[in-house]
Structure formats: C-alpha cells, structure tokens
Amino acid sequence: MSAVLDRVDVVAPAPVHPRVVARPRPRNERLAVGLGLLLVGVMHSVNLAGWPQYWDDEGTYYSQAWSVQHLGSLSPYTYWYDHPPVGWLQLALVSWLPDAVLDGSTSAVLAGRVVMVVCTLATALLTYLLAKRLGLTRGWALLAMLFWAVDPLVLYEGRQVLLDNVALPWLLGAFVLALSRERHLGSHMAAGLCFGMAVLSKETTLMFAPALLVALWQSAYRPTRAFSVMGMSLLVAAMGSMYLLFALVRSELFPGPGHVSLWDAVSFQFLEREGSGWILDPDSPEGGAYDTFHSWLQHDGGVLLLGGVGAALPALFVRRLRPVALAVLIAAAVALRPSGYLPHMYPVAVLPFCALACVGLLDVVGRWVMRRRDVALRAGLGTVVAALLIGGVMQLGDWRYNYEAAWTEDTNDVHATTVEYVAGALPRDAVVVADNSYWNDLVDAGWSVEDAVWFYKADADAAVADRLGGDYRGIDYLVWSIDVAENALPVVAEAHEHSELLWAQGEGRSRVEVRRVLTPAEEARIEAEEDARVAAELEAELRRVDAFMAEDSLEWPDLTNGQVTAIRQERDTLSVPALAAKYETSEETVGAVLAGG
C-alpha cells in the first residue's frame, strides 16, 4: 500500500500525541531584541513634539480618529471614501490614552504621534521575526530590524501620524504568519486577516499581494497549498467586501446626485488625480515625483531605499528572499510608472522590505563565502561584506546631523505660538480656516467643530460650503500656513485676497500668518480711505511743485524755477533772443540755462 501513513489518530486516556516541545528561546535573544527595541523606542520618541514639523495630513488622520471617539462619525466632515477608515479607527481605539496622559501644552496631534511610535516598535519586532522566517540568523535579523528602524528616513516618516505607519505592522504580520513554521491553515487564514487589516488601513498596501502570495506558496504544505491560498484570499476578499458593503449600506457605492460615493473616490485617486511626473525626470513639475524622490534621498543618502532596490534584484534569485525582493520590486515598479500621483509617504510600507532584502543578501553572501574552501576568495568576499558593514556604520556618522535635528530641533514652535495667538486673540464664534494640523488644537481651544474649518473643505465639501454661504465671505479668519498656501482651492484663495494680516511668525516654509477676512463694507471703507489718502498725497505733491516753481532758481536768481523749466521746454520753438525778451533776462543767462539743461 502506497498510502501507508505515519500514524493514526487515537482517542486514548493518556495523551498519545507527543506535544512538540518548543525549543526554549534563549534568554539572550530576548535581551538583544529587547535592547534593540528600547533603542528604537528612544530614537523615535526623543523630541517627538518638536520634529518633524506638524503638517496637514497628520492632523487629518488625527482629527478623524478624534471624530470617531467624540462625534461617533468617521470624520468631522462628510466621509468621502478617500481612504478606508480602519486606520484611524485603530488610532481612535488607542489614542485616547496618550491624549489623556499628555498635558495639553503641545499640539493634540502629539497623541497620534505617540501611537505611531508604538506602531514603529511593533513593526520593528515583526521585521525581526520576518527576518528569522526568511532564514536569517539572529544577528542578521537584529541588524535588519535596526537597519530599518534607525534609518533617518524611517525616523522622519515613522514619527508622523500616517495611515501607512498603522498599516505596516499588519502588513509585516501577514508575511510572518504566511511564513509560519507550523504551516497551519489557521496561520495562513490569519495572514489573510492581517493583510485585510493592512489594506483597510492603507489601501496602497494591496500592491504587496503578489509578494504575500509567493511567500504563502513557498511556505505552504504542498498537498494543502490550495487550501491555504483559498483561505487567505477569501478572508482578504471578505474584509474588502465589508468596505464595499459599508458603502452599499450607506447608498454610497455608486455615484449619484447629492452624495459622495466610493466609486467617485476611487476614480479620483486612480484616474483623475493629477500625476506628478516621472520620478526620474528632472523636468517634472515642481514638488512632483522627482522632487519627492529626492526628498527621500535627502534623509539617508538613499542607503535604505536605493540599497533595498539594488539588493532586491539579486535577492529575487534567492528562493527564501524572493517574497521580500518581490515586494520591493513591485513598489519600485509602481513608483517608476511614467506619471502618477506619488505622495511623500509612499516608501513607508516598502522600507522594512528594503532592509530585509539588503541584510538578507548579506546573509546569503556571507554563508556562501563561509562554505568556500578557497581561502583567498573567502578573505576577498569577507572583506567586501566587512567593508559594506563598515560603510554602513560610517553612514551613521553622515546621519549625525539628521539625528541631531530629530532629537533637538523644535520645528513646531511656530505651530505652538500660532495656536497660542489664535486662542488668545480670536473670538470663539468666528469661522477659522486652517490646515488640519491646527484643527484639533482649535477645537481644544473652544471652537465648535463647525467653526474650525479644514481649508480643503471650504471648497470640496458641499455641506461646509453651504454652511459658509457658498463663498469666501463665510470665512472670518485664515491661519495661512505653507500647506494652505500651496493647496488653497478657489474659495480660500479668494478669502486670502480679501484679507488683512493680523500676525505672522516664522520664515520660509514654516511661516504662518493669521489673517482676518474683510467684509465687503470694510473693504469698501478701506478702499475709500485709500483713495482719499492717495488723492490727498497727490494734492500735496502738486502744491509742493507749484511752490517750487515759484521760487527763485539757485543758479540764476533773476529767474524762478518755473521760468528755467519753461525756457528749456520752449528751446525748440523760440530763439534765444526771443526767450530772453519773453522772460526779461539776458541772452547769456538763457544760453547758460540751455547749456545747463
């Protein structure tokens, strides 16, 4: 019988299935990972409130989480399916805790940033676990984790309240579960749930689906592989369907008059949203893909990003590294499409994979070298690996200034003083338009959720536009930050044109102005005053000229200034004697006047 199998299932009084005795995890591994995480935690939380500068999106996600907690709605405005809401639902679930602990002397968004640090720690741990699932030894796995977590670009992106940071632990968790050693169908289905959570937290993580499938395919037990793939896919699909169902139940799946729709939002994000040029094209629009790409490289010299892409190409040919290599290359290919929207947080999700591809490749090369008999080759390649490691450590020296900025610079002092000024100077019943990084601070300072208006919504949200009366005159004050200045839509831009400066602080990109929007009457009065002032100035000037003309010339005392000017003007129509006769002076004087002109 060919189907003789190794054992049978038995019901017996004593347990006859030996439980797999888990190899006790060495204590020093826990210690090493624990210390690594401590380091990461400290690096990511020192000066969290000061750097980087708060910006619009952070406030958006935080205000939406706040709205879930306090208003019971997905957003302070009409939720329009810009992103699936699961990301800020999670944020809402936990951000009340830091919010309650923080004393309120800093921006409310800081509570969101604290949650981001927790996400980063989870991601770091999962990066370590994933590295081990990929067959890396403990040391390399720890290196991969730290390589990712201490990279200045990660430090910069990881601190910001971004959906990508929330999605990342789920994404990596999905890979860890798909590659679980027990190869249990339950793990594979849990991987599907995690991936579903990742996608519902930030929809762009969907692009990693092929990489996850490859991971699952490699890891699953061959006879039941179809079950694993089916289980995982169906759970991802089920979670995705919940989102569609959500839209359907609210009658917002398809476009229609008078309501937002998932359909519209998706077609905006993927079809209508203006592309920002090609990532490698220097002529692409300012602030476009090319600039965004270079801003990523600024932080760490491109070590993690370019190194990751460079390592991913050879890693694609190493079976165990193939899933992460594929993840990196998919993200690279998407970024390299000729024209498309490329937001600055785009690389967040791929960076752990970049670190894994780099370190994984080092591990592969290291092992290969150690197996060679050829001493010279071993020495040579060993030197190369060592040089790469040393180069990596040297890089830390280059990154010193980034760390210094991250840990010491207060880029949010303008934000804080602006909030202070606004809270002190503006009436609470006034409509204040600002970017979303101010929204929660305004609400905390006593503005109602209707009166604190996110600048986009004054144009884009029909309900808000209605409330404001359909034009700029519904707006009382503007907090004019760089995010507003660069992205203001017509109504807010018009409000800016019809506003006066009350207060300003900061220089360059951190400059913030607080402006008062003028009523038409005020504007008319100011215009009239201005006209009167100009007219008066003009009259005074005329009087001054008249007086001057009547005075005697300093050079020719028998002539007034007016006569000197007249002689010079009339030189072409009258002869010198005629001029002398007309202005009762000598011909010599006329000659001198003309010569002097």
Partner 1 sequence: MLLLSVALVVVALVLLVVAGTTLWWQMHAWSSPRSYRSVGFPRAGRPTTSFSLIVPCREETEEVMRSTVERLLAQEHPDFEVVFSVGHDDAKPMSGGLSTVQIAEKLARRWPAQVRVSVNYDAVKNKPRQLNTALRDCTKEIVGIVDAESLTQPGLLAHVDATFRSTDADVVQGAVHLMNYRDSWFALRNCMEYRIWFRSRLHGHALSGFIPLGGNTVFTRRALLEEVGGWDGECLAEDCEIGVRLSCLGKKIVVGYDSRLATQEETPERIPQLIKQRTRWALGFMQVLAKGEWKKLPTRSQRFHAWWTLVQQHAVAFSGVVLPLAVLTGLVASVPTVVVLVTFLPLAPTLTMLGFEMLILREWGREMRLDVRLRDYVRLVVSLPFYQLLLAVAVLRAIGKYLTGDFAWEKTAHVGSHLPPRLTLVGDEERAA
**Would you tell me which residues interact with partner 1 (CB under 8 A)?**
1-13, 17, 182-186, 189, 221, 223-224, 226-227, 230-231, 234-235, 238, 242, 245-246, 249-250
Q: What angle do CA 159, 75, 456 make, to 5 degrees?
A: 80
Q: Tell me the C-alpha distance between 358 and 328, whole Å.
A: 11
Q: Residue 83 CB, nearest distance to partner 1 (Å)?
A: 17
Q: How far apart are CA 366 and CA 359, in angstroms?
A: 10
Q: Which is nearer to partner 1, 3 or 554 (CB)?
A: 3
Q: How far does CA 331 lie from the centroid of its chain?
A: 17
Helix axes 138-149, 152-159, angle to 10 degrees: 60
The one-letter amino acid at 92: A
DSSP secondary structure code for residue 342 in this structure = -
Minimum distance from residue 220 beta carbon to partner 1 (Å)? 9
State the CB neighbour count (10 A cutoff) for residue 206.
14
What values do phi and psi take at 507, rounded to 5? -125, 155
Task: Give the separation between CA 556 and CA 587, rounded to whole angstroms.
Answer: 13
The least CB distance from residue 190 to partner 1, in Å, is 12
Q: Which lies closer to partner 1 via its Cβ, residue 8 or residue 271?
A: 8
Q: How far is the CB of 329 from partner 1 (least distance, A)?
A: 30
Measured CA to CA, the distance from residue 80 to residue 269 in angstroms comes to 12
> Could you tell me which residues come within 8 angstroms of residue 190 by beta carbon, excluding any fewer than 6 positions away?
177
Report the half-sphere exposure of 33 (CA within 13 A, side-chain side). Answer: 22
Q: What is the smallest separation between the CB atom of 241 and partner 1, expressed in angstroms?
A: 8
Shortest reach from residue 107's CB to partner 1, in Å: 30
C-beta closer to partner 1: residue 53 or 219: 219
| Site of tokens 């998706």 | 266
Least Cβ distance, residue 70 to partner 1 (angstroms): 17
Q: Which is nearer to partner 1, 212 or 580 (CB)?
A: 212
Nearest residue (CB) to partner 1, 245 versus 394: 245
Cβ nearer to partner 1, comparing 9 with 572: 9
In one-letter notation, the amino acid at residue 27 is R
Q: Is 446 left (phi over 0), alpha (psi -120 to 50) or beta?
A: left
- Give the residue with the Cβ less far from partner 1, 221 or 368: 221
Nearer to partner 1, 245 or 389 (CB): 245
Rg (CA), the chain: 35
Phi then psi dihedrals of residue 286, to 5 deg: -60, 135
Instruction: Indicate the residue among 50 and 231 with the shorter CB distance to partner 1.
Output: 231
Nearest approach, Cβ of 184 to partner 1 (angstroms)?
Answer: 5
Decide: 64 and 85 in contact? Cβ < 8 Å: yes
Cis peptide before 52 (omega within 30 of 0): yes
- Residue whose token pair is 């090493």: 32
CB of 20 to partner 1, least distance (A): 9
Tokens of 558: 């028998």
Residue 249 or 554: which CB sits closer to partner 1? 249
Q: How far is the CB of 80 from partner 1 (least distance, A)?
A: 15
User: For residues 250 and 511, which CB has a smaller minimum distance to partner 1 in the complex?
Assistant: 250
- Spell out the long-range contacts of 455-461 with Cβ–Cβ below 8 A and sequence spacing 24 or more: 455/483, 455/484, 455/487, 455/488, 455/489, 455/492, 456/487, 456/489, 457/77, 458/433, 458/489, 458/491, 458/492, 458/495, 459/489, 459/490, 459/491, 459/492, 460/489, 461/77, 461/78, 461/80
Least gap, CB of 86 to partner 1 (angstroms):
12
How far apart CA 237 and CA 518 sit, in angstroms, is 52
